[in-house]
Amino acid sequence: MDLTPLFKPKSIAVLGASQNGNTIGGRPIRFLKEYGYQGAIYPINPKYKECQGLKCYPNITALPEAVDHLMVVVRAELVADAVLQAAQKGIKSVMIFSSGFAEAGEEGKAMQRRIQDVAREYNMPVCGPNCQGFIDHFNQVTATFTGSLVNGDFNKGPVAFCSQSGAMGYHFYGMAQRMGLGFSYMVSTGNEAVLTTSDFLRYALDDENTGLVASYMEAINDPDQLARCADLAFKKQKPLLVMKVGRSMAGSQAASSHTGSIAGEDRIADTFLEQNGILRVDSVGQFFDLFKVFSNPKRLKGDNVGIVSISGGAGVVMADDCERFGLNVVTFAPETEENLTQKLPYFGSAKNPVDLTAQVLTASEKFYDCLKCVADDPNTDAIVVFIGLLEHMKDILVPPIARLEKETEKPILVTWMACDDPIRKDFKKYGIPLYEEPTRCIYALGQLNRFRKALAHQSERKKQPTVAPDQSLTAKVSQLLDGDSKELDEMTSKELIQAFGIPATKDVLVTDKSEAGEKAAEIGFPVVMKIVSPEVAHKADVGGVILDIKDKDQATQAFESIMQGVSRARPQARLKGVMISPMVRNGLEMLVGIKNDPVFGPVLMAGLGGSYVEIFKDVSTRVLPITAFEAKDMLKELKAYKLLKGARGGAPRDIDALVEVLLKTSTLAMSLSDRISELDINPLLVFEKGKGVMALDALVSVK
Amino acid sequence: MDLTPLFKPKSIAVLGASQNGNTIGGRPIRFLKEYGYQGAIYPINPKYKECQGLKCYPNITALPEAVDHLMVVVRAELVADAVLQAAQKGIKSVMIFSSGFAEAGEEGKAMQRRIQDVAREYNMPVCGPNCQGFIDHFNQVTATFTGSLVNGDFNKGPVAFCSQSGAMGYHFYGMAQRMGLGFSYMVSTGNEAVLTTSDFLRYALDDENTGLVASYMEAINDPDQLARCADLAFKKQKPLLVMKVGRSMAGSQAASSHTGSIAGEDRIADTFLEQNGILRVDSVGQFFDLFKVFSNPKRLKGDNVGIVSISGGAGVVMADDCERFGLNVVTFAPETEENLTQKLPYFGSAKNPVDLTAQVLTASEKFYDCLKCVADDPNTDAIVVFIGLLEHMKDILVPPIARLEKETEKPILVTWMACDDPIRKDFKKYGIPLYEEPTRCIYALGQLNRFRKALAHQSERKKQPTVAPDQSLTAKVSQLLDGDSKELDEMTSKELIQAFGIPATKDVLVTDKSEAGEKAAEIGFPVVMKIVSPEVAHKADVGGVILDIKDKDQATQAFESIMQGVSRARPQARLKGVMISPMVRNGLEMLVGIKNDPVFGPVLMAGLGGSYVEIFKDVSTRVLPITAFEAKDMLKELKAYKLLKGARGGAPRDIDALVEVLLKTSTLAMSLSDRISELDINPLLVFEKGKGVMALDALVSVK
């Protein structure tokens, strides 16, 4: 669907136009005129002949042309008909400000469905309903009624911002505009009946005036589309920033009552964004901080920071913050330290963080020389400058920074505590990111570094094929999943994972005691014996498990003891028999699992198994599909990775075999995503390097 | 030492006074005059007869009176003599701006020591050297040369702020003043040759104009004094906020090169502050946020928040933030929801967070009614209001909030995104904390709640006696610590802890094989046997440990096998014999330890022992002394606490006995703080409830 008529309309009509430039129906016309929109504007309202000095039309049909864009500001009940008329007239795009749709109950949902149907039939882009419109800063299209435009702030620049919440988005936009941050687009998507956040993100990523794309989301409605946006962002090397709210239980409930969307688990949303290289932020302040740093086109090549401060104390604060945000306060090359030592008074510090002392600041040239030293140091990737107060020295201090900004490819970030408006304007003019608190400055630099690492990660990830479903295996195992039970028993679960190539103990079901002795001997002692019954979940609690059985006699006795014990404890249970498995030792107990998320689909889990699972919750997750690179990465995230590598004198484990199981489990999950809701392999024993892995237990839950 | 002459001087002299009101020697005189200081001002400079319109004196001796306060702005070499002259003249307090002392090498250190000697001899309070002075806002004493006063910002209020870094402190102060935050005192302490941060904190805590006390620290120089300040803060129920920098390795190195102080381990500093109820902040922004909320005298009674927002989206953001910062988005009482439902349009939300919608905001009375509903709800402890844009509606929206502020005892915090100066001034006038980003607002409320919990914690803690050293035991075990080894062997270590009442296995040392069999039988099988040798640290690696020995024969063989095995592996080692211990099972493996920190002294540790210690680092710490309440609290902090309580169907463990061991270990550490540097009891087996604990291994390191 082409969004050009929406974003760059040659003509605009407003249905429900008002004479009063302060109402929802009046503001769009007022703003279009005030902010210099170049196309034709057609107010529609049967009450007027003229509206805000423009010729006014009685209805859509009466319009002199099929406009590129129609804004709709009439009562909810009238909207669907208006959209149909617009489509029939040949109007190329529609935006609906009116509310009272999906967010307001069943009747509203039905009206919203009618709008969707028309849009689909006529292939017409529709934004909203229940939205606050959009702004295209490079074409002076102010198709919105937001109060943020009342004050005349209108800075154009590289930021494209898209918000599911109109109010929150425009509060944010208004505040950013007052801070002087420049935008390309600002869009409020409302109920997303037709066009979604992803449609706008894609449009903005393709736009050449846009350097960074950001979105405020209350729900991720289409993870696949969003993942495609992330792909495009990666190709364009543009940062894609997302503030996804509803992290908490209270927040996610509030979000779903606000937008009617399903939340999904926030931890999974986090994983999804991270694995697609989308930078998640957690507050509006973080958005501002990132807009500043990403509005400058310079990017980091590494994580080594050189800090130049007029105060030793600020250097300490920033060094702490560097560590907090994953940056390195690098040791300067010897010649840098020597050079700086010559330039600084004896009570300054030529080591990183550099303490310039006030003496250096008396002349631009001295200050420039010190900055230049640090920028020229082969070890630094970025320069952070700290200044406080000293407003009267603006014209000594700003020009050297501006000069260096032009001369070096390394990002320069400035913190100026207690600065004033003239200073802010200067830095805006030179396009240098300016912060007023040291921690926010270093946070932003940390995120620039996170972007660098995310790009590198994506490029590694995309080198390998992603796991795909295997339909032949789906067919092969299909009958295992038929049946009336919500859970497969252990033997069937293991059969299923073995069909997908995951090693599991070879178990044998026996139904009488002599068979028990024979089969146990065939397997080879020692063995483990467990009751098999669909009604007995916690087998050990009812005497249903016996370990370390060493010979035929013990096996025979064990059979009797298990059958009798369980019969006594659970007289109603159907006992299918006793399962005999080899007793396996000396592996590290890990777990591998699958969970189906209502929003994101199958999610893979890997973690430490055994006794401490519930205590330490050392588990990493990925939304499927993944590549082998990502499977390895999941393991590296774990604290237990140290154990896999062979901590405390232990032997290194067979990590490759474990990665293989993760990939096979992914194939399984994707092949059977319609059939199974959960899979737990726990414990999966991981043996010494080269010796493979073995699933000791598995449990499949059927949909 | 009485600080009144320093903070409220009736007369002030400036040694090194300058005619130029923009220099370090000129600004203090200029500021004192400009900001309305009421006492006499005496410039001292042999070059002038008159200085800035005041009579100028050639030297200290020539002063017409023994002034309350002398500021010193002369070269470092001249300072110590000046301080002596001042003392001899009877001057009651001195502040030294000059730098070039302890921060600048050995010569400077010697000069600083001379100042200390004079101050001690004459019992004269001295601030600095290398400081930027202080401001007493309620008495118009501006004894500083800071650039922050150049702009004329001078808001008085309840904040007392003390900074070890002059520049950082005054940048912070300058920014806070521009935000309209009101101060009682602002002090820069510099090198703290005589007066320390704690001296100033104590003075400010006692001051009735001061409601909250805050400090920026690069080093905690006197933890005992700071703990006493915390006691005083608790008695006065005033919050004590500390930004302690040097968290990171790079930051702590920068701090120590900046101030010359020893850093200590940051994790211990964190523990120390927390256990004394001092609120640590991590950025200057957090300081601002807290100054706002604590400047209002209202305090929280619980953690239940009612949120009233003009935007559904902002409600979601704030609900998320509540969870992040430990607050509860409480469910309203049914009558509150009913009342709100009547007042709101159908597309609003009467549930918490309340979505007012723009309709409610058209009249003050409607807005007030909704706020009042939430404030009157018996379930809420605080009210958070969110507004964005709408500057033109200030006079409709602010008065209802101001009215409620007077009527309710519950704290009201406001976030107004994209607000403007007139709005900021209004909220300042009413003393209502105003934020411009939702997350910072909820952060501040979370800290108000942290303060409530810290007070409750302190009051619990102070009900019980703290652990004290036991000198009789010190004497008793003294000879165990004599010797040339840095580490005691396992048997001696256990003897030491047993002397302090900590249960440990009763071990026996045997030196021949027949004795081994007999003693093992006396102990009772099964037993464990281990080599005893000061030269063998990792006993198991050289065949020096045999477990689960079941009879006399096995014991005899084990003795031979151990002695021969170790001799072969370590021919040089002195083998003292073999230690026999009972084989103990079925306990949860914990660890208890002591570590001596260079700044904070003995620190107690408790955590999960056994295999995963290094992987999960599940350890909590306390600076000694502690009370029994705190020992229990240490355990509650652990993830392993679930295991102690009996997770996964396991039996509950003897937590009381473990607490007892923590207290006894504390007694040991305090009694022997001069003698031992470290103690590790690992594993300490914790048996089922009522069955006690048992140390299986212990290692004492001697100083």
- Residue-level pLDDT at B250: 82
- Chain A residue numbers with beta carbons less than 8 Å from the beta carbon of B647 are 614-615
CA distance B444 to B440: 6
Residue B643 to residue A615, Cβ atoms within 8 A: yes
Please give the structure tokens belonging to residue A432: 């240098």
Instruction: Give the CATH superfamily of B297-461.
Output: Succinyl-CoA synthetase domains (3.40.50.261)
Can you point out the beta strands (E) in A598-697? 601-608, 619-623, 676-686, 693-695
Would you place residue B27 in the very low, low, confident or very high pLDDT band (cuts 50, 70, 90)? very high
Say which of B171, B258, B647 has its CB closest to residue A615.
B647
- Residue-level pLDDT at A104: 81
Say which of B175, B258, B639 has its CB closest to residue A616.
B639
- CA A412 to chain CA centroid, Å, is 27
Q: Where along chain B do its domains lie?
A: 4-293, 297-461, 506-583, 588-702
Can you point out the beta strands (E) in B205-326? 212-217, 240-244, 279-280, 304-309
Residue A168 to residue B314, Cβ atoms within 8 A: yes
The shortest C-alpha distance from B26 to chain A (Å) reads 17
- Chain B residue numbers with beta carbons less than 8 Å from the beta carbon of A218 are 313, 316
The shortest C-alpha distance from A372 to chain B (Å) reads 21
Say which of A99, A148, A319 has its CB closest to residue B251.
A319
CA distance B543 to B532: 12
Torsion angle, CA of B7/B10/B14/B18, rounded to 10 degrees? 110
Task: Name the burial class of residue B87, with classes exposed (0-12), middle (13-18) and buried (19+) by CB atoms within 10 angstroms of its CB.
Answer: buried
Would you place residue B264 in the very low, low, confident or very high pLDDT band (cuts 50, 70, 90)? low
Residue A258 to residue B388, Cβ atoms within 8 A: no
CA distance B434 to B426: 10
Task: Name the burial class of residue B66, with classes exposed (0-12), middle (13-18) and buried (19+) by CB atoms within 10 angstroms of its CB.
Answer: middle
Residue B320 to residue A245, Cβ atoms within 8 A: yes
Omega within 30 of 0 (cis) for the link into B625: yes
Measured CA to CA in angstroms, residue B535 lies from A558, B483, B511, B574 at distances of: 49, 14, 17, 7
**Do the Cβ atoms of A529 and A578 come closer than 8 Å?**
yes
Confirm or reject CATH 3.40.50.261 for domain A4-293, answering yes or no. Answer: yes
Instruction: Dump pLDDT digits (tens) for A491-518.
Output: 899 999 999 999 999 999 999 988 999 9
Please give the structure tokens belonging to residue A209: 């005036």
Residue B389 to residue A250, Cβ atoms within 8 A: no
The shortest C-alpha distance from B539 to chain A (Å) reads 14
What is the average pLDDT across A145-152? 90
Instruction: Dump pLDDT digits (tens) for A344-392.
Output: 887 788 999 999 987 778 889 999 999 999 999 999 999 999 999 999 8
Residue A284 to residue B316, Cβ atoms within 8 A: no
- Residue-level pLDDT at B327: 98
Task: Count Cβ–Cβ pairs < 8 Å, chain A vs chain B.
Answer: 255
Instruction: Give the DSSP letter string of A350-409.
Output: -SSSEE--GGGGGSHHHHHHHHHHHHH-TT-SEEEEEEES-GGGHHHHHHHHHHHHHH-S
Mutate to test the interface with B, among A27, A107, A171, A648 (most CBs of B within 10 A): A171
Residue B543 identity = G
CA distance A47 to A153: 32
CA distance B682 to B696: 7
Would you place residue A553 in the very low, low, confident or very high pLDDT band (cuts 50, 70, 90)? very high
Question: Residues 6 or more apart from A371 whose CB is under 8 A from it?
Answer: A308, A383, A385, A400, A401, A404
**Do the Cβ atoms of A404 and A368 come closer than 8 Å?**
yes
Residue positions counted in chain A: 703
Q: Residue with structure tokens 């063995």?
A: A527
At residue A192, what are phi and psi to the nearest 5 degrees?
55, 45
- Chain A residue numbers with beta carbons less than 8 Å from the beta carbon of B313 are 163-165, 167-169, 216, 218, 245, 258
- Chain B residue numbers with beta carbons less than 8 Å from the beta carbon of A175 are 388, 417-418, 436
Residue A647 to residue B618, Cβ atoms within 8 A: no
With CA atoms as reference, the chain B residue closest to A390 would be B147
The shortest C-alpha distance from A309 to chain B (Å) reads 11
Give the distance between the most distant pair of CA atoms in chain B: 103
Class of domain A506-582: alpha beta
Mutate to test the interface with B, among A257, A266, A282, A320 (most CBs of B within 10 A): A320
Residue A314 to residue B171, Cβ atoms within 8 A: yes
Counts of helices then strands in chain B (DSSP H, E): 24, 30
ipTM over 0.95: no
Would you place residue B535 in the very low, low, confident or very high pLDDT band (cuts 50, 70, 90)? confident
Residue B611 to residue A648, Cβ atoms within 8 A: yes
Would you place residue A264 in the very low, low, confident or very high pLDDT band (cuts 50, 70, 90)? low
With CA atoms as reference, the chain A residue closest to B618 would be A616
CA distance B515 to B507: 14
CA distance B470 to B482: 19
Residue A103 to residue B347, Cβ atoms within 8 A: yes
Instruction: Give the CATH superfamily of A298-461.
Output: Succinyl-CoA synthetase domains (3.40.50.261)
Residue B438 to residue A284, Cβ atoms within 8 A: yes
Give the distance between the most distant pair of CA atoms in chain A: 103
Average pLDDT of chain A? 93
Question: Residues 6 or more apart from B134 whose CB is under 8 A from it?
Answer: B6, B7, B95, B127, B141, B143, B144, B185, B186, B187, B188
**C-beta atoms surrounding A357 within 10 Å:** 19
- Chain A residue numbers with beta carbons less than 8 Å from the beta carbon of B392 are 150
The shortest C-alpha distance from A247 to chain B (Å) reads 6
The shortest C-alpha distance from A682 to chain B (Å) reads 15
Give which of A403, A424, A411 is closest to A297, Cα–Cα: A411
CA distance B448 to A138: 45
Q: How many degrees, rounded to 5, is the angle at CA A71 between CA A69 and CA A75?
A: 150
With CA atoms as reference, the chain B residue closest to A540 would be B649
- What are the start-end ranges of the H helices in B91-156? 106-122
Mutate to test the interface with A, among B387, B612, B648, B682 (most CBs of A within 10 A): B612
Instruction: Give the CATH superfamily of B506-583.
Output: ATP-grasp fold, A domain (3.30.1490.20)
Q: Which residues pair with B619 in a beta bridge?
A: B607
Residue B347 to residue A99, Cβ atoms within 8 A: yes
At residue A325, what are phi and psi to the nearest 5 degrees?
-105, 20
Element (H, E) at A216: strand A212-217
| Domains B297-461 and B588-702 equal at CATH topology level | no
Omega within 30 of 0 (cis) for the link into B526: yes
**Do the Cβ atoms of A42 and A89 come closer than 8 Å?**
no
- Chain A residue numbers with beta carbons less than 8 Å from the beta carbon of B250 are 319-320, 322-323, 329, 353
Instruction: Give the DSSP letter string of B533-549.
Output: -TT-SSGGGGT-EEEEE
- Residue-level pLDDT at A258: 61
Residue B316 to residue A251, Cβ atoms within 8 A: yes
Residue A347 to residue B100, Cβ atoms within 8 A: yes
Give which of A458, A153, A155, A399 is closest to A277, Cα–Cα: A458
* Of A150-154, A536-540, B64-68, B349-353, highest mean pLDDT: B64-68
- Chain B residue numbers with beta carbons less than 8 Å from the beta carbon of A171 are 311, 314, 388-389, 417-418
- Chain B residue numbers with beta carbons less than 8 Å from the beta carbon of A438 are 283-284
Please give the structure tokens belonging to residue A644: 């896999």
- CA B426 to chain CA centroid, Å, is 34
Tell me: pLDDT of A252 over 90. no
Counts of helices then strands in chain A (DSSP H, E): 24, 30
Class of domain B588-702: alpha beta
Residue A172 to residue B417, Cβ atoms within 8 A: yes
Task: Name the burial class of residue A64, with classes exposed (0-12), middle (13-18) and buried (19+) by CB atoms within 10 angstroms of its CB.
Answer: exposed
With CA atoms as reference, the chain B residue closest to A258 would be B312
Measured CA to CA in angstroms, residue B151 lies from A611, B20, B178, B574 at distances of: 64, 17, 9, 76
Residue B168 to residue A314, Cβ atoms within 8 A: yes
- Residue-level pLDDT at B452: 98
Tell me: pLDDT of B271 over 90. yes
Question: Residues 6 or more apart from B36 whose CB is under 8 A from it?
Answer: B140
Residue positions counted in chain B: 703
**Do the Cβ atoms of A563 and A578 come closer than 8 Å?**
yes
**Do the Cβ atoms of A672 and A481 come closer than 8 Å?**
yes
The shortest C-alpha distance from B64 to chain A (Å) reads 35
Q: Residue with structure tokens 């080894």?
A: B485
**C-beta atoms surrounding B350 within 10 Å:** 19
Q: What is the DSSP letter of A277?
A: T
Would you place residue A250 in the very low, low, confident or very high pLDDT band (cuts 50, 70, 90)? confident
Tell me: pLDDT of A260 over 60. no
Measured CA to CA in angstroms, residue A113 lies from A100, A107, A119, A120, B297 at distances of: 13, 10, 10, 10, 53
What is the average pLDDT across A642-651? 82
CA distance B50 to B88: 25
- Residue-level pLDDT at A616: 87
CA distance B453 to A118: 58
Residue B614 to residue A647, Cβ atoms within 8 A: yes
Phi-psi region of A263 (alpha: psi -120 to 50; beta: other; left: phi over 0): alpha
Give which of B339, B313, B316 is closest to B329, Cα–Cα: B316
- CA A566 to chain CA centroid, Å, is 49
CA distance B180 to B171: 14
CA distance A32 to A47: 21
- Chain A residue numbers with beta carbons less than 8 Å from the beta carbon of B418 are 148, 171, 174-175, 178
Tell me: pLDDT of B582 over 60. yes
Instruction: Dump pLDDT digits (tens) for B451-498.
Output: 999 999 999 999 999 999 999 999 889 889 887 778 888 889 999 999
Instruction: Dump pLDDT digits (tens) for B33-91.
Output: 999 999 999 999 999 999 999 999 999 999 999 999 999 999 999 999 999 999 999 99
